[in-house]
């Protein structure tokens, strides 16, 4: 059962974060993710947060995002 949740979450993460083609609504994905975190063991990949940046991101995009985040902490 936990393997099915892991596979489904990882597939939807790939669709959303790598291909930028989500097939679930945000609410449905959040529900799936929440349930997977409840039933999967701590070493499961569903508990992993973050990943490497897609190759389509340019250095400039990353620098702008970093500047924005730094500015929001100073306020």
Cβ atoms of 51 and 17 within 8 Å: the answer is yes
Mean pLDDT of 9-13: 90
Q: What is the per-residue pLDDT for 2? A: 85
Q: State yes or no: pLDDT of 74 exceeds 80.
A: no
Q: What is the per-residue pLDDT for 68? A: 72
Lowest mean pLDDT: which of 7-11, 39-43, 48-52? Answer: 48-52
| Cα 63 to Cα 52: distance, rounded to the nearest angstrom | 15
Q: What is the per-residue pLDDT for 27? A: 93
Domains and CATH numbers, the chain: 2-74 (1.10.287)
């Amino acid at each position: 059962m936990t393997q099915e949740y892991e596979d489904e979450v990882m597939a939807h993460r790939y669709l959303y974060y790598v291909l930028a083609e989500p097939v679930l609504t945000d609410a449905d994905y959040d529900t799936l993710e929440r349930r997977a975190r409840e039933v999967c063991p701590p070493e499961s990949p569903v508990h992993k947060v973050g990943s490497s940046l897609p190759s389509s991101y340019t250095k400039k995009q990353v620098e702008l995002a970093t500047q924005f985040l730094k500015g929001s902490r100073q306020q």
